Amino acid sequence: MIKDQDYLKKIADICLSKSKKLGSTDASILVQSSVSENINVRNKKLDGSERSENLGVVLTTYLGKKKSSIASSNLKESNLKELVDRCIETMKITPEDEYNSLPDKDLHFSGLKDLDLYDETHLSNEDKINYIKEAEDEAFSNNKIVNTNGSGFGENKSNFLLANSNGFSDGYKTSQFTAYCEVVSKSNGSMERDYEYTSKRFYNDILKPKELGSIAADHAVKKLNPKKIKSEKISLIFDKRISKNFLSIFASAISSSAIAKGTTFLKDKLNQKVFNTEININDRGDIKKANGSRYFDSEGIGIINLDLIKNGILQDYLIDTYNGKKINRKSNGRASGTTNLYFENGSKTFSELIKSEKKLLYIKETIGHGTNIINGDYSVGASGIMIENGEFSYPVSEITIAGNLNNIFQNITLADDLEFNYSTNSPTMHVEGMIVGGK
């Protein structure tokens, strides 16, 4: 069972009062409790079960502009006191940093908590096993699926309390139900794997097992017997599961920490055209039941909605208290990053998009870590499907795609098929003229 708010509060109080007693001028504390249960199935047979109970505390103490942190999962009172001691001792000898402080009191969250982020539904292990076996059954009904890499179902419940010495003290429960199915297809000596994944706060919102299995099988079969193509300049279509990655890159490039240090290609681009005029990007924390929704960030600051890109123009950064001070801006509640980040729909249908050029390469998977936030260089491994005259023709693999994000962002056209499946979501994306490395 996850611990209730009273239990978490008791631990928070022990740490806060102990650190005050030892001379800290300010302190903040996070106490978290979570229970997760995961079931793994492989080839329709139970492969494993995992149950985890986690309890942990993170304490940050301040002495004026000096700061230090400790974290622990050992919540015995004697151990906690020892750790607070240690935290205070370290704090005293850490140099001052003029930007260190608790968040602005006026920005603390205070309001209704009505976003529906917790589903108390509990599935027995049997129910979990049945769900995921049904998904694998469906995948195996495709005769090219010969094996699975494992499929799983997870249920996670957590509760937390965030408190600081300025009087903030709040927390709430969240839940997450997750299922994935990863299958292996085989034909004519070619072996490929692919997956489908679903994750929602409410059990009723996740994909039905049959859909999960059939989508995974379909993905894996479509990759069979790929060709390698010649190096060329070609326009790409990014599948929704990849196009959303560009939003994550964008988010790290406008984090106040990167802006303050100058380690981003989007430094000094505020109020400038970063994308073409068709593009709008929003970050909204108040969508009911959504994966990225939250009431306040990891400093207790209330979430406000941000229109980050309007008609291609950069309107705002993602700001926390510390880095906000460095760039003379107030926090906008993004110490824990983005919430529900998405591109607004474009004006073309998916079918119009894939018919927009005679030859297009549809990218379904990228591998590697080839994004350089500092200068915008982008180069990753990829696989996908060639589109000729608007029709999917043959799978392609062992290629690289490369470009610079400054150009890529200007050359994006979006379809009108946005769905809120993850916390970061994008419609299908067309990017003109990228360099593919192949034969």
Considering only residues 208-237, where is the footprint of other proteins by CB under 8 A?
223, 228, 231-233
127 near other proteins (CB under 8 A) = no
Site string for other proteins, 186-205 (x = CB under 8 A): -----xxx------------
130 near other proteins (CB under 8 A) = no
Q: Report d(CA 423, CA 107) in Å as an integer.
A: 24
Using CB under 8 A, count the residues that bind other proteins.
76
Q: Report d(CA 17, CA 10) in Å as an integer.
A: 11
Residues 71-100 that bind other proteins (CB under 8 A): 71-75, 79, 83, 86-87, 90, 93-95, 97, 99
List the one residue out of 205, 200, 320, 206 whose CA is nearest residue 258: 320
The least CB distance from residue 191 to other proteins, in Å, is: 6
- The residue from 101, 147, 166, 282 that contacts other proteins (CB under 8 A) is 147
CB contact at 8 A, 390 and 213: no
Binding span for other proteins by CB under 8 A among 52-60, 239-247, 349-357, 386-394: 52-60
The least CB distance from residue 88 to other proteins, in Å, is: 11
Residues 157-186 that bind other proteins (CB under 8 A): 184
Q: Report d(CA 156, CA 164) in Å as an integer.
A: 26
- In single-letter form, the type of residue at position 36 comes to S
Binding span for other proteins by CB under 8 A among 207-215, 305-313, 349-357, 393-401: 393-401
Residues 326-385 that bind other proteins (CB under 8 A): 326, 367-370, 372, 374-375, 377, 379-381, 383
- The residue from 13, 47, 278, 344 that contacts other proteins (CB under 8 A) is 47
Which structure tokens are listed for 329? 């801006």
Q: Which residues of 182-211 are buried (b: 16+ CB within 10 A; e: fewer)?
A: bbbbeeeeeebebbbbbbbbebebbbebee
What are residue 425's phi and psi, to 5 degrees? -135, 140
- The residue from 4, 53, 116, 419 that contacts other proteins (CB under 8 A) is 53
Bridge-based pairing of strands 232-238 and 359-367 is: parallel
Residue number, 21 or 51, with CB nearest to other proteins:
51
- CA 56 vs CA 70, 140, 265, 396: distances in Å: 11, 41, 37, 46
272 near other proteins (CB under 8 A) = no
- The residue from 17, 23, 64, 69 that contacts other proteins (CB under 8 A) is 69
Q: Report d(CA 86, CA 78) in Å as an integer.
A: 13
Residues 244-263 that bind other proteins (CB under 8 A): 260-263
Residue number, 234 or 281, with CB nearest to other proteins:
234
Residue number, 230 or 358, with CB nearest to other proteins:
230
Which runs of E-coded beta strand occur in 239-388? 281-284, 306-310, 313-314, 340-343, 359-367, 377-388
